[in-house]
């Protein structure tokens, strides 16, 4: 089965980032890797790469059809002591795009084929060099843009994640064995574990899976960036705030109402956590069809955001129509973390600012569903006042737990889906045990949970299409 999934051909690809650089690395993997590279490489130290020592770099010349392509290094990694578990050769050459393409053409002429995305890591998985969850962590590590993403991927790649799932699967198999043994000896009235013991074991496993499932909120936020909607009426400074936070002119700023007619998104790393800020269209009544569509999208982004920054214009708070529009937005913030930002405080004196803060707090408290006084932060998006306090408030408002190097956090949507499936199966089994259902009606759900947990690490995956979908998202050369 494994050999049919791997194939017998030898693959090659550029393993470094696309484009020109100081050096480039071309990776070749397969049973013919050393022989194929030997056809285009000549070295004074060894007459043939078959005699080359493992993991030792050899300097030489690359040529094809009588023409010299480049000079560089070749390093051989023989099976099974290689990344893929096959014979692997790594070519270090100059980073010219022309040289990279010429070497790839020479290798394919000698019998290689170009690797598909993630094919090297897929072969590593199929040869047992790593399980599926660790293979997926490789892609996450490459894509990491923040300290949190890096730490989470590294923990998963080092195997602690895999060990937890392997233990869960083993305990589930133990539970299933006890129940199936009772089924085999049911006519002899033999009891291998009473229902109380089974329930205790089931509750322990359910609690562990629940904890992992719930960690997906944190893991997904760290991996994809926490969506933060910047909301408010027109011309209150939303685009100015986005530009100030990002430190660049990302959104158009104008005194004309309704300038932003669609949502604008960008990410910012704050204390190792990625925040995905969304500048929404100004909220107001309008007869403009295009602007109205933008406002509808704004409400959709506000509903889906993990946190909302409600921007209030200190110069317009006394206006009755403005206050009415502000209050219409409050019901959408029910059961959602949000911060109120009193903007443009640079335009008034501190005493007036304090009076406006008191008035705004009373107004919002009266109309908020919770009836609690909201957190209001005075800022000047134009001048940058209060932005450091805002960054600290963003971390505090989300109450994200500190991620330690040993913490197991689920960040992969596939893993979360499988855990949710396993959790549903275990809850069904527990209900059946409590209601006194026969063992033979419960074991199929238990085996469903075992299969779901096994699919996280690849222990129960046999479908090539599943593997294709997983590795198709990898970069070429990894």
Binding site members = 27, 90, 129, 235-240, 254-260, 279-282, 478
As annotated, the binding site for Mg(2+) includes 239, 260
**Which two structure tokens, joined as six digits, stand for 324?**
């009415």
Q: Reply yes or no: is the peptide bond before residue 263 cis, omega within 30 of 0.
A: no
Instruction: Check if the beta carbon of residue 140 is closer than 8 Å to that of residue 149.
Output: yes
**Burial (CB count within 10 angstroms: exposed 0-12, middle 13-18, buried 19+), residue 283:** buried
**Which two structure tokens, joined as six digits, stand for 395?**
């971390």
**Which two structure tokens, joined as six digits, stand for 12?**
């090659």
Query: Facing residues of 77 across strands?
Result: 88
As annotated, the binding site for K(+) includes 235, 254, 256, 259
Q: What is the 3-state secondary structure (H, E, C) of 363-415?
A: HHHHHCCCCCCCCEEECECCCCECHHHHHHHHHHHHCCCCCCCCCCCCCCHHH
**Burial (CB count within 10 angstroms: exposed 0-12, middle 13-18, buried 19+), residue 261:** middle
Query: Facing residues of 279 across strands?
Result: 230, 264
**Which two structure tokens, joined as six digits, stand for 339?**
């911060």
Whole-angstrom Cα distance, residue 231 to residue 236?
A: 9
Closest CA to 84 of 156, 157, 35, 28: 28
As annotated, the binding site for (6S)-5-formyl-5,6,7,8-tetrahydrofolate includes 27, 90, 129, 478
């Amino acid at each position: 089965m494994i050999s049919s999934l791997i194939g017998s051909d030898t693959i090659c690809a550029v393993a470094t980032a696309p484009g020109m650089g100081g050096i480039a690395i071309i990776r070749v993997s397969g049973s013919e890797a050393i022989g194929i590279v030997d056809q285009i490489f000549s070295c004074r130290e060894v007459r043939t790469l078959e005699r080359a020592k493992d993991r030792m770099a050899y300097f030489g010349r690359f040529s094809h059809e009588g023409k010299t392509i480049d000079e560089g290094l070749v390093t051989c990694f023989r099976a099974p002591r290689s990344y893929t578990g096959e014979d692997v050769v790594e070519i270090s050459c100059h980073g010219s795009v022309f040289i990279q393409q010429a070497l790839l053409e020479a290798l394919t002429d000698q019998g290689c084929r170009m690797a598909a995305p993630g094919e090297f890591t897929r072969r590593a998985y199929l040869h047992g060099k790593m399980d599926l969850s660790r293979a997926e962590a490789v892609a996450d590590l490459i894509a990491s843009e923040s300290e949190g993403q890096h730490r989470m991927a590294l923990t998963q790649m080092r195997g602690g994640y895999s060990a937890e799932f392997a233990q869960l699967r083993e305990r589930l198999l133990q539970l299933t064995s006890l129940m199936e043994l009772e089924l085999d000896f049911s006519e002899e009235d033999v009891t291998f574990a009473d229902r109380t013991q089974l329930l205790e074991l089931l509750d322990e496993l359910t609690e562990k899976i629940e904890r992992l499932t719930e960690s997906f909120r944190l893991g997904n936020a760290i991996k994809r960036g926490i969506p933060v909607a910047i909301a408010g009426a027109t011309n209150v400074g939303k685009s100015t705030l986005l530009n100030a936070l990002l430190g660049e002119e990302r959104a158009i700023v104008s005194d004309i109402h309704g300038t932003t007619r669609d949502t604008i998104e960008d990410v910012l790393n704050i204390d190792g956590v990625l925040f995905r800020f969304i500048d929404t269209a100004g909220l107001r009544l309008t007869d403009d069809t295009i602007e109205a569509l933008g406002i509808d999208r704004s409400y959709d982004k506000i509903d889906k955001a993990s946190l909302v920054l409600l921007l209030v214009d200190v110069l317009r708070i006394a206006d009755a129509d403005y206050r009415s529009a502000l209050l219409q937005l409050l019901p959408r913030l029910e059961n959602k973390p949000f911060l109120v930002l009193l903007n443009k405080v640079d335009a008034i004196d501190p005493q007036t600012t304090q009076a406006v803060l008191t008035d705004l707090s009373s107004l919002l408290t009266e109309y908020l569903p919770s009836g609690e006084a909201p957190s209001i932060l005075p800022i000047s998006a134009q001048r940058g006042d209060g932005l450091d306090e805002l960054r600290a408030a963003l971390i505090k408002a989300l109450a994200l737990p500190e991620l330690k190097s040993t913490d197991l956090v689920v960040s992969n949507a596939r893993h979360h889906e499988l855990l949710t499936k396993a959790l549903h199966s275990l809850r069904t089994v527990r209900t059946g045990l409590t209601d006194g259902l026969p063992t033979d009606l419960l074991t199929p759900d238990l085996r469903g949970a075992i299969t779901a947990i096994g699919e996280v690490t690849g222990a129960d995956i046999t479908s090539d299409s599943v593997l294709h979908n997983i590795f198709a998202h990898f970069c070429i050369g990894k």
